[in-house]
Structure 1
Amino acid sequence: MALLKILLAEDHHVVRNGIKLVLQSQADLSVVGEYDNGQAVFEAMEQSIDADLLITDLDMPIKGGISFIREFAQHYPHLPILVLTMLDDSRHLAEAFSAGAKGYLLKNIGAEELIYAVRRTSAGGQYLCEELSMRFVEQAIQEQHTKSSIATDPQYDLSERESEVLQLLADGYTNKEIAEQLFLSRRTVEGHRENLINRFGCRNTAVLIKRATGLGLLR
């Protein structure tokens, strides 16, 4: 059985020891380097340490965060990065994957999920922890329910012309430009805009567009 060599970057000593114990409970996993900041990881790489995977926190002193992931991925693209963090918001998640991470885990995961994620990412795959995956599924279900409610609500049953005007307003066109595109009078376009604002209960066009976007009525 081939030994999978892991670098572990975590600035909390107790947490780092716990992760190490979980990993090294497996015969095929070995932590070959432990660090409390990103700079120390780079120094180890410069010494040609032999490794197959980096597990790293996002919040570390000296060198850490998304910038550390991006820089590491650029210098060592052959070495997968698995993020293990407390940060559970979509912004950090998206930025981490965009920067080059291959996996994203929350620190409250169980040992089995951590081990599975390590093996999957080291084999060339990607992984998002179950808690975040299910959260996105639940959001998608809620959005679908919202769209279904909108589809049956006469308040949002727009005519084809109203939909066209709404979309062009969202695209930044003026009343005059919309009138020219749709071969309508400017007064007619202004009438559609005012009707939409009133129907959606908005104060102005900007609020109208924001609400229509949230309701999924714009492309």
Structure 2
Amino acid sequence: MDNITIGLVDDHEIVRQGLKVLLTKIGTYNVTHEFSSGNDLLAALPVQNSPSLWIIDYSMPGLNGVEVIKALDEMGADYKALLLTQHLDESIINAAYHYGARGFLNKNCSAFDLKYAIENIATTGYNNVVEILKRLRKYDPDPVSLKTEVVILTARERDFLRLVCDERELTYDQMADLMSVSLKSIESYRTALFEKYDIKSKVGLVLFSYKHRLTEPFL
């Protein structure tokens, strides 16, 4: 996949250099930005010609990777972030997803895993899709930290969104049958939500419902 630009945030220069070499070997990726800490990245905002994806280390002096992703989210910065970590602690991963991470990778991952994650995020918006859905259904976030954007849905859009979030992971055809409408109608509900709230994928719809507590199982 061409034209994917990468930003690296890691306090170890040798890690950044190693990632740059690896990225040139596994794809036509171009590292355009580097920061040695999350504080440096935040101080540089808004970043000119922001890369397609930021790969952010968890363990850094000052702000850790999750805190950086949280700060980006609170600032309204629309930056896609992949968390790189040696710590597979449940609370860290859940918090990363809660604050907008598009995926995470263990630092022991293979080159294939890295390439897969980058291209997944580029094409669908997220990596670890199945895991995200499972975690979000279990995670009870602090309601104070949820976004306060006003969300206005029609009754049919809300019904559609409820089925998107259904644990049975229904297809669009199955949703049409359950709502007694045509597949074209289902596609129109999806398109309306995509356009109104800048959503780009089915997983994005689930995260949207989760962040605003719009449907089961997030109410």
TM-score range, shorter chain: 0.5 to 0.7
Structure 1 residues 36, 129: closer, same or farther in 2, change over 3 A?
A: farther
Measured in 2, the distance between the counterparts of 1:87 and 1:128 equals: 16
Q: 2:78 is matched with which residue?
A: 78
CA distance in 2, matches of 1:74, 1:3: 28
- Give how far 1:25 is off: 1.9
**Contact 1:106–1:129, Cα closer than 8 Å, also in 2:** no
Instruction: State the distance in 1 between where 2:47 and 2:77 align.
Output: 17
CA distance in 2, matches of 1:43, 1:123: 29
- Find the aligned partners of 1:11 and 1:106 in 2 and give their Cα distance: 17
Change (3 A) 1:22 1:34: same
Whole-angstrom CA distance in 2 between matches of 1:23 and 1:82: 14
Compared CA separation, residues 129 and 95, structure 1 to 2 (3 A): same
**Deviation of the 1:37 alpha carbon:** 0.2
SS for the counterpart of 1:127 is: coil
* Structure 1 pair 39–91 and aligned structure 2 pair: CA distance change class (3 A): same
Alpha carbons of 1:78 and 1:2: their partners in 2 closer, same or farther (altered >3 Å)? farther
Secondary structure at 2:84's aligned position in 1? strand
Q: CA deviation at 1:114?
A: 0.4
* Gaps in structure 2 of 5+ consecutive residues: 136-219
Identity %: 28
Aligned pair 1:88/2:88, yes or no? Answer: yes
Relative to structure 1, the CA distance from residue 49 to residue 114 in structure 2 (aligned partners, 3 Å threshold; closer, same or farther) is same
The one-character-per-residue Cα deviations of 1:25-57 (angstroms, maximum 9, x if unpaired) are: 245311111111012212343342431111001
The structure richer in helix per residue is 1
TM-score (norm 1): 0.54
1:39 is matched by which residue type in structure 2?
A: N
Q: How many aligned positions are there?
A: 133
User: Are the equivalent residues in 2 in contact too, given 1:103–1:126 (CA < 8 A)?
Assistant: yes
RMSD across aligned positions (CA):
2.6
Structure 1 segments (4+ residues) deviating >4 Å: none
Distance 1:68 1:79 in 2: 11
CA contact (8 A) 1:105 1:128 kept: no
Conserved in 1, the CA contact under 8 Å of 2:26 and 2:111?
no
Matches of 2:31 and 2:122, distance apart in 1: 14
Q: Larger radius of gyration, structure 1 or 2?
A: 1
Q: Partner of 1:25: helix, strand, or coil?
A: helix
Task: Give the 5 Å matches for 1:1-219.
Answer: 2-128=2-128
After superposition, the Cα gap between the structure-2 partners of 1:47 and 1:93, relative to the gap in structure 1 and judged at 3 Å, is closer
Q: Structure 2 vs 1, CA of residues 27 and 67 (structure 1 numbering), >3 Å: closer, same or farther? A: closer
In structure 2, C-alpha distance between the alignment counterparts of 1:84 and 1:124, rounded to whole Å: 19
* SS at structure 2 position matched to 1:82: strand
Determine the C-alpha separation between the residues in 2 that align with 1:79 and 1:32. Answer: 14
Q: TM-score, normalised by structure 2?
A: 0.54
Structure 2 distance, partners of 1:87, 1:66, is 12
Indicate the residue corresponding to 1:144 in structure 2: none
SS of the residue corresponding to residue 19 of structure 1 reads helix
Structure 1 residues 27 and 13: CA distance shift in structure 2, 3 A: same
Instruction: With a CA cutoff of 8 Å and minimum separation of 6, indicate the structure with the bigger relative contact order.
Output: 2
